[in-house]
Amino acid sequence: MELRIRNLSKTYANGVVALDNVTLNIPTGMFGLLGPNGAGKSTLMRILATLQECDSGSVFLDEIDVLDEQDEVRRMLGYLPQDFGVYPKVTAYELLDHFAVLKGLSSRARRREVVDGLLQQTNLFEVRHQRLGGFSGGMRQRFGIAQALLGDPQLIIVDEPTAGLDPQERVRFHNLLSDIGEDKTVLLSTHIVSDVADLCSNMAIINKGHVLLCGEPQKLIDAIDGKIWERFVTKAEVAAFQTRHAVISTRLLTGRTLIRVYDERDPGDGFDPAIGDLEDVYFATIAGRSFAASNC
């Protein structure tokens, strides 16, 4: 299914403009919404999940008016919120079974089939009789996906699901999401560039309530080809380089400081050409370097 967001705006009562005229097309597959903390990602996710109202704009999921036909949307939707809490004293099986009852699965036999299937899909079947309080962060997030998949939703929204996961769990979680994303619309919000690089066929970068850039990750990387340059500097030199060049990132590499700049021409000053990656796309965009025509 395709999600079409048009001119969506939301200002909180305290005057914070969380979303400012956001327009996006989200096709079937994995879509990454990338942005720093406070960019407006959770606000957008909650509006799409029918949990919060916007001030203006429209959202359609194929023919369904998301802002108007909430019951219809909820039947199609799975949602893993950023702060997904579990009841620590119940087991994974018990809680998923309970959620399944709430989703309207009244037949006990059918419920068992669905719950077992989801626990298997999320690799939690072996630990289904353990209490959720003893689950690791990664197991809890996989449980969060299991509950989001109840009712076979066509649109799945996951809000910053990999924050705090160790590298192994992140890979596991990525594999799970990419299986789901094969035939569903999965909207993944994150501030972690590699989540999007590894998983998403389409993406957008959002900051301060604005969509700054969107497209296919590889095309966006191609658009910065030949425009990223790097060199090592001492810590004391960083500030001076920042005034002379459009520095998009400073990283410590084996104890030395590597700076990368965005420049359409050779910046001189001892810089070497570098191969651009999605992180460069992200940092250059957030730093206000507009290099590709946004066609959201």
Ligand X SMILES: Nc1ncnc2c1ncn2[C@@H]1O[C@H](COP(=O)(O)OP(=O)(O)OP(=O)(O)O)[C@@H](O)[C@H]1O
Give the footprint of ligand X on this chain (CB under 6 A). Answer: 12, 14, 16, 18, 35, 37-43, 82, 160
What is the closest distance, in whole angstroms, from the C-beta atom of residue 107 to ligand X in the complex? 38
18 or 261: CB nearest ligand X? 18
Residue 272: Cβ within 10 Å count: 9
Buried-exposed string 135-156: b where 16+ CB fall within 10 A, e elsewhere: beebbbbbbbbbbbbbbebbbb
64 or 214: CB nearest ligand X? 214
Tokens found for residue 250? 């400073």
20 or 277: CB nearest ligand X? 20
53 or 63: CB nearest ligand X? 53
Using Cβ positions, the residue closest to ligand X within the complex turns out to be: 42
Kind and range of the H or E element at 143? helix 137-148
Gap between the Cα atoms of 211 and 296, Å rounded:
8
What is the closest distance, in whole angstroms, from the C-beta atom of residue 262 to ligand X in the complex? 23
What is the closest distance, in whole angstroms, from the C-beta atom of residue 285 to ligand X in the complex? 15
Gap between the Cα atoms of 60 and 274, Å rounded:
41
14 or 107: CB nearest ligand X? 14
What is the closest distance, in whole angstroms, from the C-beta atom of residue 206 to ligand X in the complex? 7
What is the closest distance, in whole angstroms, from the C-beta atom of residue 28 to ligand X in the complex? 24
CB-neighbour burial class of residue 229 (10 A; exposed 0-12, middle 13-18, buried 19+):
buried
The residues, any chain, with a CB within 8 Å of residue 101's CB and separated by 6 or more, are 111
What is the closest distance, in whole angstroms, from the C-beta atom of residue 42 to ligand X in the complex? 3
Determine contact, residues 15/8, Cβ cutoff 8 Å: no
Gap between the Cα atoms of 178 and 198, Å rounded:
9
What is the closest distance, in whole angstroms, from the C-beta atom of residue 37 to ligand X in the complex? 3
Backbone phi and psi for residue 91, each to the nearest 5 degrees, phi listed first: -85, 165
The residues, any chain, with a CB within 8 Å of residue 120's CB and separated by 6 or more, are none
103 or 208: CB nearest ligand X? 208
146 or 206: CB nearest ligand X? 206
Widest CA span of the chain, in angstroms?
A: 71
